[in-house]
Structure 1
Amino acid sequence: MQQWRLKPFLFGVMVLTISFFLLLMTMATYFSVSYFFTKQKSDARIEVLNSNQLKLNERLGDMEGTALSISTHRLTKELLENTDSPDLYEYLKLQRDVTEWLDTFTYIKPFITSIQIYTDRFVQYEKYGQVGKNRILPMSKIPWKEDMRRFEDVGAQWIPSHGDDYYSDSNAKPTVLTYVLSIYDRKGSVIGYVAVNLLEDSLTRLFFSETKESSPTNRSLMLLDSSGRLMSGMSAQVNAQLINAFQSAIGGIDKPSYGYQPTNVAGSNYLMIYTAQSENHWRLVEFLETKDIYRDTNIIRNIMLLIGTVVLLLVFPVASYLSSRIIRPVPLLLRGFQQIENGNFEANMGKYFIVEFNKLIHGFNKMALELERMIEELEHKNRLKRDLELKVLQSQINPHFLYNTLDMINWAAAMKGNTEISVMVTRLARLFRISLSGGGTFIRLQEELEHARLYAQIQQTRMEDKFVYREQIDPLLKSCYVPKIILQPFIENCIVHGFGDFQEEKAEVSVCAEKMGDHIKITIIDNGAGLEQQRSKSPLHVSGTSGYGIRNIRDRLELYLGSNYKLVISNADARGVKVEMVLPYYDSLEEIKHIAT
């Protein structure tokens, strides 16, 4: 192991510690400022986007209102609901009248490039082709047929940006967003569609101003519908070629509220800012290059690094001086600690001429005395605790005198021919003999079951046919060892508290055991009143210490097994009380002694 001298070690630790905290403070400042600038910029841009979204809602609402007014207009109804088949002249006249009427909308609202009405009422004239600027077109001319399936669920929809094939200038094909509205007859059946084309460039002029401050040259806007489908992409001059690449980042928006998040597109970092979905479920998403956002942050970072470098250079002489001053009393303290490690708490150090170190030495001397006092006090308390626990547990179950007395009573009853008393006394004597168990704390489960059975037989003799005791034990488990006298107190508790006047059927207590891995589970169930309805005394009860015995069981299990046991007392499923004990499975007393040591 590498050995270090105290002074260079302290010097290195101080330099590294100060450098670490300096670096940590620089990074914390940088990231805090970055977060502040990002949030400030994002909040400002979200305000701008919200303003743009209001303009967008107004524009889209205008478009939808135009389509609705056309679909419900008298001329449209007469045109599509009239069942008479017009001749060619009437058809051409209808085309001219409708075209002139629809053109008034494009004149009034220049952001509308064209309007079409699609219907199959005049399909017989499709063979003549387009005559002038046809506004009434057959269904087969619909350019957005792949979106027609959406009309199964809705009566109107917006079509993403595409070229306007029916623009008045055949040489130009502007990009438009189309709003399509179903036209219904009086029976509610669809008889046609009206399509209003919104010039996408009008939205660009609406959202992008001429100044860099209000409309940065590196921004891009994406218009999404309620399903997250890209409806339109508008980009400033710098990002025009990346408009398709931005679509992959849109999938990261998974919440309806507004927000922002960093993203990487085509190897460059961008900040994606998005608004909340509006009432008509439209959303604006903006992409800004982060290099412009973090320009001021990088300047602050460089200033912090410069300050940190200067401070770091000053750390070296300061650390050298402090390390030299600190180590002067350290050897004395080390010798004092070595004496304490060796058990000598009488180590006492002399005064030092430096006030701070003198206080440190005084504290060391006081600590040594306090440690000696606390250790002596703790050892004394532990001895008292162990002695008291053993005395209390021994005094709680000490049936030697009772066993000898019962043996004398048994002989006297047998000599006088009173067999019933002799049997009961024999059982009680056997019960006490098991409880003695040679002074051991663990006995076999077979003996513990015999102890509980003897107590139950004594109670059955006293109560005649009012009490039934049952056992359901795997014979292979009877050879394992358990703490003694852990069943009888619970059986006594069932008789004392569980059975009352309302008990019509026989009082019944059953004991079963099963192995669970390295543990054994013992269950005691009665058919009494249960925990909430137990009475303080049962008619079957004469006298006893059931509550005292149960507390004794908990204390002994805690003393013998520590935390390696489980004791749960609860109401049974039907009625009565269920006691569940999970104990370690011990095959021999040697195993118990080995674990105890």
Structure 2
Amino acid sequence: MSYLKKRLVKFNINYMNLSIKNKILIFYVCILSIICLILGGYSYLVASKSLKDEVTSINIKDINQTADSINFLQKDVTDLSTFICLNPLIQSLVTTNESSDEYEKFTKYGLEPLNILLASKDYISFIVIYGDKGSKYYLSKDGSNGLSSYDAVKKSEVYKDAHELKGAPLWVNIGSKNNILISDNRSPKIAMVRTIIDTNTLQESGLMVICINTSFIENLYSQGLKGSDSIALIDNKNNIISSKDTKKYLNDTNINYVFSKLSEVNRYENLNLSGSDLLATSSVIKESNWKLISLTSQVEMFKSLNSIMTMTLTVIGFCLIISFFISIFVSSKLTNPIKQLLASMRRVKSGNFKEKVDYKFNDEIGMLVYQYNDMIDNIQNLINRVYKLQLKEKEAELKALQAQINPHFLYNTLDMIFWKSEKAKQTEISEMVYALSKLFRTTLNNGQDFILVKSEKEFIENYLLLQGKRFRNKLEYSVAIDDDILCYSIPKLIIQPFVENAIIHGTEADSDKSYISVTGSVVEENLVFSIEDNGNGIDDETMNSLLNSNSNNTNHINKQKGYAIGNVNQRLSLYYGENYSLNMESKTGQGTKIMISIPIKDISL
């Protein structure tokens, strides 16, 4: 059992390691083979049973028809004997002495019509009439001759049996040897024997025997049962009267065995005699109560089954061949798109991210191909975003390098100015120098792209401090960012460009006093920053230009003022995709409000 289990496990492993096409091919061929074998086997069994039933039915029909023919022949002889026995000429013959002149004259002229009648029955080969007074008369067609005396006949078993029947017919087999009825018998015969009853006294007055050569009977069943190997006519004592036994199946032992299997109810049976399978059928001849038995070889009888078997195997083979090609077609249809998908993956692996698989159907493979193509598009978009982000970072680093010149020199110079101012008690100058130094440090941020909200807040405060010193009482501002969000990380310099824009479009452009408010808080797991001013506002065209500006735009406004704002929008898009929002609300003469919302979960330290 364990060995079989191991073999099954090994087979399963080998099967699962095959390609999908081969798996489908083997599966379809096995399933269709099983179906074909089942249908073929069932068809063969049904056809063979139908053929056996049909051949058996035909065999039974043939033997019944042959038995009916023999029965009709015997009944005709019986009817003829009745006609002869009741004929006045015969009644006179049997009561006449053989030595009298009347007997000689009677047999010479009186029986001529009777001779003509008997001559018309070609199956009658011999007829004899005995009279109680010693008269006798016979007619022979096959050369048989010689009669025993009536007294000798009366001593035989045949006469005794006929006498007990009191004029009823008795059918007997008189064989090929000489017997009490015919001294010189030339051919085997069956005979109808009956006593003649005097119509006047109703007493027995003689005996009549009418014979039929068995060759005539054999000719009947040879024509009616051509397919039988062995045919036998059996009397009511189970003795073989006549037979045709080409295969030597018939002997006393076999006959008794056959009779034990056949009955009045069961007239056919499958038997095995001498190592051969045979179909035994029988039919009763009602007139004599004899039996006709036929033995037919089943090999010969059902040899057409071989052609059915050959046809069945041919059809199964043809179906298997067709199923093989159908399986190849179906498996190819199923696996070709997968092969295309694998080939496409290899090309993508080599760096071709513009690769697409073309599949027009909406089945599971079609959904897989659709998702694969969508994945390639997402990868390509992601690569483009990362590439653009790297470009922006390189550009920012370049500008930082250009701006910093020599950061240590600038820091040291600013530090020297700060201490000179402190020493000279120039507090305002020292504050401005300190704020400028913090601005430089935050801008460079050691090359990092993200800073804490706390650092961004300090940067805005220092920037507004310097601008406040510049514009003195013309600018008021407030920076109100919640302490809860100071430890979160955000892209650096995403608020300052909008504060700078508020100063450019408000404080510089308007003579009135301007106010700038910067706030920051958490709203539904998003960091929301607001930059609001009371300046002159921005028209829609300028606002769109500021948001969509890039480094290649040569417009004067975009070069000097809008590039930083457009850069913020692009950086936020690269960092957060569609998970951020940047809204500008502005009306001419009513100020401007900018709202920036970015997700916390993507940027928390």
Instruction: Give 1 or 2 for the bigger CA radius of gyration.
Output: 2
Question: Structure 1 length normalisation: TM-score?
Answer: 0.40
